[in-house]
Every structure is written in C-alpha cells, then in structure tokens.
Amino acid sequence: MLDTGSSDLIASAHRALAVNRRHGLTVPHLRMFPAGYLWDTAVIVKGLAVFDPDRAAAEVLRLLGAQWRSGMLPNEVYFDTDRFRRWIHGAHPDTPTGLTTSGITQPPMIVRSALEVGRRLDPDARAAFYRAALPPLAALCRWVLERRIGDRGLAVVIHPHETGMDNRADLVGPMAARWLTATTRRQRASRAALLLTVRTGRRVLGDCRTVTVGHRSSHPEVLAAALQTHHLRRFHYDLAAIRAEGRAVLVEDVGYNAVFLDAVRCLQELAAELGPDAAREHLPPDLTAATDRLAAGLDQLWQPDVDVHGGGYASRDARTGQVLPGATVAGLFPLLVERRPERVRTMTGRLSDPGRYWTLVPPPSAPLDSPAFDPVRYWQGPAWPFPTDILETGLELAGHHELAGELRHRYLTRPHGPEHAEYQNPLTGAPLGARPFSPAAALTLRFADRLPDS
Ligand code: GLC
C-alpha cells in the first residue's frame, strides 16, 4: 500500500510524461535525451497505456516508423535530419528517409510492450493496432534471426550500447582491452589526444554539462565505445563483415537474448490474436524451431561456476565463447523465459538477497558483493527502471507474484520518488542523472496501477 506522498508521486509522473514530448513521441528526457530510444519507449508506452492507450499505441507505431529496410530497429532515433548525429552514426541506405538514426539496436522489449498496449485498447482499436504493428515487429524478429545469430545459436550484440547498459561491469574490460591498449609512444599520444577531445566534448556539449562524470561512464569508457562505433560504421553495421574483420568486441549477451526469446513468444501471441492468416503471412518461417534453438542457446549461458551458490547466467565473448567475468543484473533477465524450478529459485534467491540485489531500491545494476559495485556510477551499481521493469515482468511470468509485488512496492516507495530519476543510488535512493526521466515516471504509473485498491 502506498501511504505517504502517493498523489504527489502520481501527479509528478503525469507531469514528466507531459513535458518530455518531442516529434510525436515521449522521449526519455527533453534536454539530455531528446530522441526516441528503443528500450525506453518500450517502458514508456506501458506507463502511457495505463491512462491513454491510444497515445501509447500511436507512440509504438511512431517508433516502428524508424525501422531500417533490413528490419533492424535502431536504439536511437532523431525524427529529423540532424547533421552532427548523421556524422556520428554514418549515413546508411537502410535508414528511412528524413530520419537520423543510430546503426545499432537495443533489447527488443517493444514486442511485449505492443502486446500489452493492445490489451488496454477496445477490441476494434486493438485489432487495428495489432494489424499495423505485426509486420514491423515480425520484420524485427526476422532480422535478428537472419542477421544476428552467431555460431552457437545466440543473438550477438555488436556494441555495448546494444545491451542497453553502456558501461556494464562485464563489458568495460573487454572494451578497454580492445580499444584502449597503447603499446607505442605514438599510440599513447593519440589515445591521450582522443581522451582530451572526449572530455571536452562531454563538458561542452554532452552529458557532463549537467551531471558529474563520477556518475556517468568514464571518459575512457566513452572513448572505447566511440571507437567501436566508428569501426562498425566502416562495416555498415553488418555482423558478418564485422566478425570477419575480427577487431570489434562481440558478445552473446544474456540480457539481449532473454528479452529476444520473450519477444519471439510475444510475437506469436500477438499474431494469434489476428488469426491463422496473419500468422502465416507475417511470422518468420519455422519460428517454433528457431525459438527452440534460441532456448537451447540460452541454456548454454548457464554456467555452474559463474556466481556464488550454484551457478548463474552470464554473457560470453561471441568469438572465443569465454564467459565474461563480473556478475550483473542482466544475469537475472532470463527470469522472463526460464521455467526450471531450480534455476528460477537460484535467481529469485539472488535477487531477494540483501547482500546482493535486494537493496532499498532494487535491483542494483551490479550486485553489492561484486568488486565492480559503485552505487553512483552509471551501470556499475545504480538501480535503473529498465531492469526493474524486466525483472518485475519476469517474476510475474515465473509465478513469483509476491516478490514481484515487493519489487513494485520498493520502487513506488523509493525516497525522492517524485523526481523520477534516470537512475538511483540503490542503497539510499538518492536520485542520479537526468530528471524527470520518462521511463521512471512510466514505470511508476504502471506499478501504481497494480496496487490492490487502484
Ligand atoms: C543511456 C542508457 C540507455 C538508455 C539511453 C536513453 O544511453 O545507458 O539504457 O536507453 O541512455 O535513456
């Protein structure tokens, strides 16, 4: 039960979603993130659907309008032709005319969100919405299956930002090793010059204008990410070409794959709502077999010695197959799809352990007992709305309704809730980063809607 300040919390969430609007979309934050972001939109529309399902449906379709001709859905979409961004991401013939987008993607929670938004619409509007959303969502899943599956049957992410968790603890080591090692004097001088450019750029134009760098990705982390983007651009973001060249960090990401497997199942559910003809026309062929292969691939990411107390899910280097060291909250995302009681118990046990993930505002992005844990540094400790959304959904799907309810309760009673921060110190609830942040506000409305007396 929400007791203190709940009307303030709800009213401020509505205000945030009213203010952060641009180009027909609710963006994460008007100044710091004035673009459409794939997994942000997935969380935002579920919150919008609580009070305005038509707006939520329109925003899903608006974002899907940024789909590349290949089926790829970019993680970042500017609804205009932004020269600077074009220069960063490169012009690609697959980009829809008149838009500027990145060339990389993000976990496809948008499929589940579309399904859930549709359920809030009246039957006629729902059918029309599903008919409009199914072809692009099916094209997205087909693109992943045809263009992004690696040697071991798992989707491969080509950039840390594709995990949604830019500088996650298990990704920064491989990125630094690949892009920041300098052995000669010349290389060291060039790295130093690039770092200076990054530092200055972020202070003058970027995220460090308003937020201290201690709360963001470090300058070397940003440089490594930028160097990989530059590299991917040269290979037109094509996995086969990038893999053949051999330099980029490629990851079988446990978070991306869990969300994707869930997305494929949601796609099948959504098509079923429209009847067998829609399914025949739009779903990728052999989707059931592909789903089985994916599930088998994900199963390989369960490592008996990856975490304390009996194993856990972890990501792997897509080239070598080696597990990426460093537990992170992404290792719990398979709660979306895992149904073996023992593994579910291990994951829920870990999530509800106060020494690991069960903090004042759960879940931290890295567990408290990991060497990388830092409660204020971007994806290396703070609690973010995206994992909270995924884990709450996963807990409900896995039948752990009580724990899901507890997670919602902790989120809704978080200190400084009405600020709707981009991320928070999981130990104190201190708000960090941009605010008001639309995904945080949307999650508030979705969780409040599930309170017993609402
Ligand atoms: C940052 C976050 C990412 C989010 C984006 C927009 O890059 O790491 O998860 O999608 O900002 O909010």
Query: What pLDDT score was predicted for residue 86?
Result: 81
Angle at which helices 254-274 and 110-120 cross, to 10°: 40
Closest atom of ligand 1 to CA, residue 384 = 9
Q: Is the pLDDT of residue 230 over 90?
A: yes
Query: What pLDDT score was predicted for residue 1?
Result: 54
Q: Model's pTM, two decimal places?
A: 0.97
Q: Is the pLDDT of residue 98 over 70?
A: yes
Q: Is the pLDDT of residue 453 over 80?
A: no
CB atoms within 10 A of CB 288: 10
Across all residues in the chain, what is the average pLDDT? 95
Q: Measured from the CB, is residue 378 less than 6 Å from ligand 1?
A: no
454 or 256, greater pLDDT: 256
CA dihedral of 49, 52, 57, 59, whole degrees rounded to 10:
-100
339/341 Cα distance (integer angstroms): 6
CB atoms within 10 A of CB 151: 12
Going by the DSSP 8-state scheme, the letter that residue 355 receives in this structure is T
Q: What is the pLDDT averaged over residues 161-184?
A: 96
Query: What pLDDT score was predicted for residue 311?
Result: 86
- What is the CA(168)–ligand 1 centre distance, in A? 12
Q: What is the pLDDT averaged over residues 215-224?
A: 96
- What is the CA(1)–ligand 1 centre distance, in A? 30
Distances (CA, A) of 416 to 144, 169, 280, 361: 39, 26, 49, 11
| 108-122, 293-307, 318-332: least confidently modelled range | 293-307
Q: Measured from the CB, is residue 37 less than 6 Å from ligand 1?
A: yes
- What is the CA(277)–ligand 1 centre distance, in A? 37
The closest alpha carbon to 176, from 156, 160, 162, 158, belongs to: 160
Closest atom of ligand 1 to CA, residue 422 = 12
Distances (CA, A) of 179 to 37, 162, 167, 224, 235: 26, 17, 14, 5, 17
Closest protein CA for atom 9 of ligand 1? 164
Query: What pLDDT score was predicted for residue 232?
Result: 97
CB atoms within 10 A of CB 61: 14
Pocket probe for ligand 1: among 30, 32, 33, 438, the residue whose CB has the most ligand atoms within 8 Å is: 33
Q: Measured from the CB, is residue 107 less than 6 Å from ligand 1?
A: no
DSSP-assigned states of every residue in 315-335: -EETTT-PBPPS--GGGGGGG
Query: What pLDDT score was predicted for residue 88?
Result: 81
Closest atom of ligand 1 to CA, residue 378 = 8
- What is the CA(289)–ligand 1 centre distance, in A? 33
| 51-60, 91-100, 352-361: least confidently modelled range | 91-100
Closest atom of ligand 1 to CA, residue 28 = 12
Query: What pLDDT score was predicted for residue 284?
Result: 85
Closest atom of ligand 1 to CA, residue 437 = 12
Q: Is the pLDDT of residue 315 over 80?
A: yes
- What is the CA(375)–ligand 1 centre distance, in A? 17
Q: Measured from the CB, is residue 166 less than 6 Å from ligand 1?
A: yes
Q: Measured from the CB, is residue 357 less than 6 Å from ligand 1?
A: no
- What is the CA(434)–ligand 1 centre distance, in A? 11
Using one digit for the tens of pLDDT, what is the confidence trace for 132-159? 999 999 999 999 999 999 999 999 999 9
Q: Is the pLDDT of residue 14 over 60?
A: yes
Closest atom of ligand 1 to CA, residue 386 = 9
- 352 pLDDT band, cuts 50/70/90, is very high
Q: Is the pLDDT of residue 4 over 70?
A: no
The closest alpha carbon to 55, from 45, 65, 64, belongs to: 45
Query: What pLDDT score was predicted for residue 3?
Result: 59
Pocket probe for ligand 1: among 37, 162, 171, 379, the residue whose CB has the most ligand atoms within 8 Å is: 37
Query: What pLDDT score was predicted for residue 400?
Result: 98
408/237 Cα distance (integer angstroms): 38
Q: Measured from the CB, is residue 116 less than 6 Å from ligand 1?
A: no
- What is the CA(207)–ligand 1 centre distance, in A? 11
Query: What pLDDT score was predicted for residue 89?
Result: 83
- What is the CA(309)–ligand 1 centre distance, in A? 32
Pocket probe for ligand 1: among 40, 222, 384, 437, the residue whose CB has the most ligand atoms within 8 Å is: 40
Closest protein CA for atom 7 of ligand 1? 166
- Tokens 């856990």 sit on residue: 312
Q: Measured from the CB, is residue 33 less than 6 Å from ligand 1?
A: yes
Closest atom of ligand 1 to CA, residue 166 = 8
416/197 Cα distance (integer angstroms): 35
- What is the CA(288)–ligand 1 centre distance, in A? 32
Using one digit for the tens of pLDDT, what is the confidence trace for 245-270? 999 999 999 999 999 999 999 999 99
Q: Percentage of the chain with pLDDT > 70?
A: 97
Closest protein CA for atom 4 of ligand 1? 164
- What is the CA(164)–ligand 1 centre distance, in A? 6
- What is the CA(159)–ligand 1 centre distance, in A? 13
Using one digit for the tens of pLDDT, what is the confidence trace for 21-77? 999 999 999 999 999 999 999 999 999 999 999 999 999 999 999 999 999 999 999
